[in-house]
Amino acid sequence: MGHPGTEVEVLAEEMGYTFKDVMLGDYEYRLINDGKEAEISSYTGTGGDIDIPGRLKGYKVTGIGNDAFSNKEVTSVVIPETVINIGRNAFAVNRIQNLIIGESVETIEYGAFRYNRLTDVIIPDSSTTIDAYAFHANQISSLVLGDSLINIGHGAFESNQLSSVEIPDNVVSVGDKHSLEIS
């Protein structure tokens, strides 16, 4: 685990240690960016309402790893201002109805919030990329896209209840006709 080649991982290996994720409460995390920041790699809690911490053991949480919260019975999520990247399927297959995305999130990766119960979504102005199927199969009827958005992946908002969407001027790539499927 960890990110191959970082100074921390190389040093750990040189000293005979295996670089592993660390547990703190309901969160398992790994150090990234040469051990200066944290990425949540797994959630072991019971679901429900989750307010993700901006720091773990003093490390700023800048990432939510792939599958970290998937299929955990989560119903509500607050993503802190410190997070920059939300990984593949990070919150997929839950029961999320309420979502607050921090103003620093730049990338929402493949399937990050697919198969939930979201109805209203606000993408912050910091976001530049929403990957394929990021919000697939929710119940979204109200969608606000941030002004910095550049790329919207294939099927990003497919299988929702959108009646209209205003696309920001900066958007240069929209995956296909299903990316912003209008009911």
Is residue 143 assigned to a domain? Answer: yes
Measure the CA–CA gap between 73 and 131, rounded to whole angstroms.
23
Contact 131, 108 (CB under 8 A): yes
Q: Domain count for the chain, please give it.
A: 1
Is residue 112 assigned to a domain? Answer: yes
* Model confidence, pTM: 0.87
Is residue 61 assigned to a domain? Answer: yes
Measure the CA–CA gap between 13 and 18, rounded to whole angstroms.
6
Is residue 30 assigned to a domain? Answer: yes
3-state secondary structure of 183: coil
Summary mean pLDDT of the chain = 90
pLDDT tens profile 48-94:
999 999 999 999 999 999 999 999 999 999 999 999 999 999 999 99
Is residue 107 assigned to a domain? Answer: yes
Domain containing residue 106: CATH number: 3.80.10.10
Is residue 179 assigned to a domain? Answer: no
Measure the CA–CA gap between 144 and 165, rounded to whole angstroms.
8
Q: Which residue segment(s) compose the domain that 67 sits in?
A: 7-174
pLDDT at 104 over 50: yes
pLDDT tens profile 16-59:
655 567 888 899 999 999 889 999 999 999 999 999 999 999 99
